[in-house]
Amino acid sequence: MTTMTMAKALNAGLRRAMGAEPKVLLAGEDIGKLGGVFRVTEGLQAEFGPDRVIDSPLAEAGIVGTAVGLALRGYRPVVEIQFDGFVYPAFDQLVSQASRLRFRTAGKLGVPLVVRIPYGGGIGAIEHHSESPETYFAHTPGLKVVTPASPSDAYWMIQQAIAADDPVVFLEPKRRYHDKGEVDLDQQSAELSLFSARVVKPGTEATLLCYGPMVRTCLEAAMVAEQEGRSLEVVDLRSLSPVDDAVVLASVRRTGRAVVVHEAARTLGLGAELAARIQEQCFYELDAPVLRVTGYDLPYPPSRVEDGYLPDLDRVLDAVDRSLRW
């Protein structure tokens, strides 16, 4: 086992995928010589050359549009959107082109494309540099949306996304880039499929459903609750589209309560969809309504006050207390 940050794990996963398949190409703004603003692609251009690790123009629509064409010609492009708020110029390419080609061609053509997007708050960034756009893409049929929460998952999930035959929006929680964890670089294959959820902490009294940057926050809340004699189960969704209903529903049936936690705004966020599915499938097993702890229904605020916007340990524990009092 090797201890590394999530950023280094992503770098190792990209390197392994590129070494195994010469059709894998990387493209994005400043990803080559600089190694990306978060240094996720550091050293890869020197190793694989500028024809496979391409410094692109500052044009997200062009980056993704070119990648769609490359995918149709048999390549497996992996493109980086430098910050989450910069993806919107490429929205049409993703939603109107990449997501529809499998359906449009009656299954004859796939688009093996990965779009890497650093997302979420917590780094004190300026406007357009802290967003949670996951619901836009999870709502789009034909797009797969996944997000790792640990270095080990980052290492394996990026390789699995590259191997997929359909477009994958790969959301990377930017404030967790420097979190460290163990990664087995000698392991031959991933333990879970790309679209499987994981119970990261078993519990009996309530289920915390979370993903990406909020997994660590929910684990911290569960540890505090444990010191107070409460047993909380934490489920890392990992895949936002499709959602692993089997793991989610089995957990809620065990505990009888569910609290969904995400940074994105509350209205029509993923928490709303999860609450609806749980209510439909687990109505008679629920001991309390499904609660949500989310960002507020407003744009990400200036960095000095973002701590008041982002869900934190206290807000999660308050929701758990309300659920247990029901």
Instruction: Report domain extents, the chain.
Output: 2-183, 198-325
Q: Annotated catalytic sites, by residue?
A: 129
Residue 64 neighbours by CB under 8 Å, 6+ apart: 79, 90, 93, 94, 98, 113, 115
- Residue 7 predicted with pLDDT over 90: yes
Residues 234-243: tens digit of each pLDDT: 999 999 999 9
- Residue 277 predicted with pLDDT over 90: yes
Beta bridge partners of 144: 168
Q: What DSSP string describes 219-237?
A: HHHHHHHHHTT--EEEEE-
Residues 67-78: tens digit of each pLDDT: 999 999 999 999
Q: Output the pLDDT for position 19.
A: 97
- Residue 290 predicted with pLDDT over 90: yes
Helix (H, G, I), strand (E, B) or coil at 187: coil
Same fold, 2-183 and 198-325: yes
**Rounded (5°) CA angle 39-18-93:** 75
Number of H helices, E strands in the chain: 11, 14
Name which of 157, 69, 150, 73 is nearest 116 in CA terms: 157
Q: Output the pLDDT for position 126.
A: 87
- Which tokens in the block code for residue 101? 């080609």
Residue whose entry in the numeric block shows the structure tokens 């299954």: 107
- Residue 145 predicted with pLDDT over 90: yes
Q: Output the pLDDT for position 283.
A: 96
CATH architecture of the domain with range 198-325: 3-Layer(aba) Sandwich (3.40)
Q: How far apart are CA 128 and CA 130, in angstroms?
A: 6
pTM of the predicted protein model? 0.96
pLDDT band at 275 (very low <50, low <70, confident <90, very high): very high
Q: Output the pLDDT for position 304.
A: 87
Across residues 276-285, what is the average pLDDT?
A: 97
- Average pLDDT, rounded, for the chain: 96
Q: What DSSP string describes 122-186?
A: -S---TTSS---HHHHHTSTT-EEE---SHHHHHHHHHHHHH-SS-EEEEEEGGGTT-EEEE-TT
Residues 242/144, Cβ–Cβ less than 8 Å: yes
- For the chain, give the percent of residues with pLDDT over 70: 100
Residues 116/81, Cβ–Cβ less than 8 Å: yes
- Phi/psi for 249 (5° steps) reads -70, -35
CATH architecture of the domain with range 2-183: 3-Layer(aba) Sandwich (3.40)
Q: Output the pLDDT for position 162.
A: 98
Q: What DSSP string describes 97-108?
A: IITTHHHHTTTS
- Residue 326 predicted with pLDDT over 90: no
Residues 22/76, Cβ–Cβ less than 8 Å: no
Q: Output the pLDDT for position 239.
A: 98
